[in-house]
């Protein structure tokens, strides 16, 4: 199949592009490179397959979709920092909602009917019970989650009006790196727990700050569902088989198990062989005690299941990437 990946120079996008290639698909990447990396594209589809453009340039999108005879779009281009979204909500709505609407318009004009998109657990807000199923109320508590909810609503309208076939994958906590060691996380600023912890192991930070140790969890630290980025990429492949015109289907993509901050820290210490000092900090506003997925719908309907089922397996791939490329893609 001929596929366009928006945000294909990013963390999840580059892993997804590689998975598509490995499954025999023809892949193009569209990215404005504001947060993605040209080197990640070079290591996956190649720079000849990269278009540097904005999602807001609807005419350019129509041109690309038509010229390359695109059959399916995988839309992964979005800003995703919760703290930043609270400070700059207009930027997040313009990019995450406005960009998605521009893409939907371009697809309609180019008569492209198949779309797989990245959504997020943030649309659920802070549910009162676990695990989280797709039927839970959408009640985001931050601007990032709100933009993803608005995107989902736009998709529902487009599916109804334009007979679009959509699958929206609600990611839990993406983690890890490609086992080859040549693709991984490289964010600026870095906000994810595992990379930050491994940066301490590499001497790039003095210590890990644990934000709160008095949560209602077995060890007092927050619990999250960490899903390997290659397992996320595989979910997009599986989603291609269930697209149905006129519908938006939602799937939670997580392991179905929670891991605490302290357990992540212990895994990083074991894998890296470094002591990794930590200090206790105050709770961050809005951090729920526990979040983890009920992934049974993805398992039964997508025929998807995570291959990386332990936090140590995930950390091992991340450690290879960070130790081999301590400065990310700038490491060469």
| Residues with pLDDT less than 50, the chain | none
Residue 81 has a pLDDT of 87
Q: Do residues 121 and 237 share a domain? A: yes
Residue 104 has a pLDDT of 98
Q: Do residues 14 and 147 share a domain? A: yes
Residue 83 has a pLDDT of 86
Residue 287 has a pLDDT of 85
- Summarize pLDDT for 174-202 with one digit per residue, the tens: 999 999 999 999 999 999 999 999 999 99
Residue 169 has a pLDDT of 98
Residue 273 has a pLDDT of 98
Q: Do residues 212 and 120 share a domain? A: no
Cα separation, 184 vs 160, in Å, equals 37
Q: Do residues 306 and 318 share a domain? A: yes
Q: Do residues 293 and 266 share a domain? A: yes
Residue 197 has a pLDDT of 98
Q: Do residues 56 and 115 share a domain? A: yes
Range of the domain at 210: 193-225+257-331
Total number of domains in the chain = 2
Question: Which are the contacts of 247, defined by CB distance < 8 A and separation ≥ 6?
Answer: 159, 165, 166
Q: Cα 165–253–159 angle (5° rounding)?
A: 15
Alpha helices, DSSP H only, in 138-260? 143-162, 193-201, 229-239
pTM of the predicted model as reported, rounded to 2 decimal places: 0.97
Residue 284 has a pLDDT of 84
Residue 332 has a pLDDT of 64
Q: Where are the beta strands (DSSP E) in 105-190?
A: 114-120, 165-171, 173-175
Q: What are the residue numbers of the active site?
A: 144
- Summarize pLDDT for 93-130 with one digit per residue, the tens: 999 999 999 999 999 999 999 999 999 999 999 998 99
């Amino acid at each position: 199949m001929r596929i366009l990946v928006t945000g294909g120079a990013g963390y999840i996008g580059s892993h997804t592009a590689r998975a598509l290639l490995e499954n025999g698909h023809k892949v193009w990447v569209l990215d404005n490179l504001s947060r993605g990396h040209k080197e990640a594209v070079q290591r996956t589809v190649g720079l000849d397959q990269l278009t540097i453009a904005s999602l807001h340039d609807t005419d350019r999108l129509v041109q690309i979709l038509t010229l390359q005879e695109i059959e399916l779009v995988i839309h992964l281009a979005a800003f995703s920092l919760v703290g930043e979204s609270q400070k700059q909500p207009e930027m997040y709505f313009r990019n995450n909602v406005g960009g998605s609407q521009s893409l939907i318009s371009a697809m309609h004009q180019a008569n492209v009917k198949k779309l797989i998109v990245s959504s997020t657990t943030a649309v659920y807000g802070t549910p009162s019970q676990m695990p989280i199923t797709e039927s839970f109320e959408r009640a985001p508590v931050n601007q990032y989650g709100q933009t993803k909810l608005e995107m989902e609503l736009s998709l529902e309208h487009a599916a109804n009006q334009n007979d679009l076939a959509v699958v929206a994958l609600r990611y839990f906590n993406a983690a890890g790196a490609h086992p080859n060691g040549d693709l991984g996380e490289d964010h600026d600023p870095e906000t994810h727990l595992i990379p930050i912890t491994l940066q301490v192991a590499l001497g790039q930070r003095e210590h890990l700050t644990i934000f709160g140790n008095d949560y209602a969890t077995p060890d007092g630290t927050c619990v999250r569902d960490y899903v390997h980025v290659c397992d996320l990429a595989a979910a997009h492949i599986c989603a291609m088989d269930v697209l149905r015109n006129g519908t938006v289907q939602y799937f939670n993509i997580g392991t179905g198990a929670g891991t605490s901050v302290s357990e992540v820290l212990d895994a990083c210490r074991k894998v890296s062989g470094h002591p990794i000092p930590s200090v206790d900090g105050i709770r961050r506003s809005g951090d729920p005690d526990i979040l983890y997925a009920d992934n049974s719908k993805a398992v039964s309907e997508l025929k998807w299941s995570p291959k990386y089922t332990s936090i140590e397996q995930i950390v091992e791939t991340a450690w290879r990437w960070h130790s081999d490329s301590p400065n990310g893609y700038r490491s060469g």
